[in-house]
């Protein structure tokens, strides 16, 4: 039995725009204690995960997001050893972090175990490093994890969460950032997904302001293409515990021994070259 493909549209109210996919069938669905997770098969984008109706990732384009959430931060830090990922239950960011041989500990703390179970089943390529001895998969509250993490024990914190509504709301405020600040070493870096640089600069401003109240000293927002998110253009924001710039280990990035599909040293350089309209909005 075959059925006609149907179009699934997600309307983004804050941006007044919409992204849709041609869907062949629903593959799976689970209602976890936190959210509803659905998996669809598409005609051109591989599998598609929705959480509470919002597109989280597709097979086809998730590499852009996962590479840009990890490599710029890890190549900015001089020698990252201890990495914590808050959220990131699909394991794609963890996979990229583990490509850095200097990393000795990579904790992924997502509140919802079902996200990882669905990723293992429908995005197995993202989970192929979950057995790495350096990886630790926790299914727990990321806010509590950071509050309890020993002071000065982390080099990089990656906040790879859903938007600041629902379960992820507490990951965008001063209290959470204070825990991160405390847990980081002096040269530590916090990196968080920070929405669309075209349409949601107000959110980036607010995020930076909260990070600043928690003690973070300097900030840099790196834009990158991300077709499945609103406006198709996304960003991560890096925050440094100590004052300092965001020059990166360009020679190491150029000589990297692992594969990446999007990230390279030149793209990192380009992402650091803030467009004038973004710089203006962020007061840089």
Q: Which residues are part of the catalytic machinery?
A: 160
Q: Is 231 annotated as a binding residue?
A: no
C-alpha 49/C-alpha 33 separation (Å) is: 17
Q: Max Cα separation, the chain?
A: 61
CA atoms lying within 13 Å on the CB side of residue 185? 13
Report in angstroms how near the CB of residue 96 gets to its own copies at its nearest.
14
CB 206 within 8 A of CB 221: no
Q: Is 90 annotated as a binding residue?
A: yes
Locus of tokens 């928690």: 214
- What is the three-class DSSP state of 142? helix
Q: Using CB atoms within 10 Å of the CB of residue 124, give its burial: 0 to 12 exposed, 13 to 18 middle, 19+ buried.
A: exposed
Q: Which is nearer to its own copies, 35 or 70 (CB)?
A: 70
Shortest reach from residue 45's CB to its own copies, in Å: 6
By beta-carbon proximity to its own copies, the closer residue of 22 and 81 is 22
| Cβ closest to its own copies, residue 21 vs residue 219 | 21
20 is in an annotated binding site: no
Distance (Å, whole) CA 83 – CA 101:
12
On whether 31 is known to bind a ligand per the annotation, the reply is: no
Q: How far is the CB of 238 from its own copies (least distance, A)?
A: 16
Sheet holding 184-193, edge to edge: 135-139, 105-110, 82-87, 154-160, 184-193, 233-240, 218-225
In whole angstroms, give the CA distance from residue 38 to residue 276: 39
Please, what is the minimum distance in Å from the beta carbon of residue 118 to its own copies?
A: 22
**Alpha-carbon gap, residue 269 to 68, rounded angstroms:** 12
User: Do 49 and 263 contact (CB within 8 A), yes or no?
Assistant: no
- In the bound state with its own copies, the residue whose beta carbon lies nearer, of 80 and 230, is 230
Hunting for tokens 């669809």 — which residue is that? Answer: 40
Ligand-binding annotation for 161, yes or no, is yes
User: Is residue 152 a known part of a binding site?
Assistant: no
b/e per residue, 10-38, with b = 16+ CB within 10 A? bebeebeeebebebeeebeeeebebbebb
In terms of CB distance, is 1 or 7 closer to its own copies?
7
The three-class DSSP label of residue 30 is strand
Minimum separation from the CB atom of position 236 to its own copies (A): 15
Footprint of its own copies (CB under 8 A): 5, 7, 9, 11, 15-22, 42-45, 60-61, 63, 198-199, 223, 225-227, 231-233, 259-267, 269-273, 275-277
- Residues placed in the known binding site for S-methyl-5'-thioadenosine: 35, 110, 141-142, 167
- Residues placed in the known binding site for spermidine: 66, 90, 160-163
- Residues placed in the known binding site: 35, 66, 90, 110, 141-142, 160-163, 167
């Amino acid at each position: 039995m075959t059925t006609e493909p149907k179009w699934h549209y997600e309307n983004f109210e804050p941006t007044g725009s919409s992204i849709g996919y041609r869907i062949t069938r629903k593959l799976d669905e689970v209602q976890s204690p936190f959210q509803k997770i659905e998996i669809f098969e598409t005609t051109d984008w591989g599998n598609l995960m929705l959480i509470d109706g919002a597109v989280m990732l597709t097979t086809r384009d998730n590499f852009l997001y996962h590479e840009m959430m990890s490599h710029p931060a890890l190549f900015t830090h001089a020698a990252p050893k201890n990495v914590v990922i808050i959220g990131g239950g699909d394991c794609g960011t963890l996979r990229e972090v583990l490509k850095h041989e200097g990393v000795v500990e990579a904790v992924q703390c997502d509140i919802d175990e079902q996200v990882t179970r669905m990723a293992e089943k429908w995005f197995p390529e993202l989970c192929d490093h979950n057995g790495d001895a350096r990886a630790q998969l926790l299914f727990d509250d990321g806010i509590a994890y950071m509050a309890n993490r020993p002071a000065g024990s982390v080099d990089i914190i990656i906040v790879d969460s859903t938007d600041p509504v629902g379960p992820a709301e507490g990951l965008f405020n001063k209290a959470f950032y204070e825990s991160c600040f405390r847990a980081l070493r002096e040269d530590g870096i916090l990196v968080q997904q920070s929405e669309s640089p075209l349409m949601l600069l107000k959110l980036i401003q607010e995020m930076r302001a909260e990070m600043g109240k928690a003690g973070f000293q300097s900030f840099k927002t790196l834009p990158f293409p991300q077709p499945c998110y609103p406006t198709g253009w996304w960003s991560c924001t890096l925050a440094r515990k100590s004052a300092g710039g965001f020059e990166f280990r360009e020679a190491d990035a150029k000589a990297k021994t692992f594969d990446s599909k999007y990230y390279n040293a030149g793209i990192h350089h380009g992402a650091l070259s803030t467009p004038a309209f973004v710089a203006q909005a962020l007061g840089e």
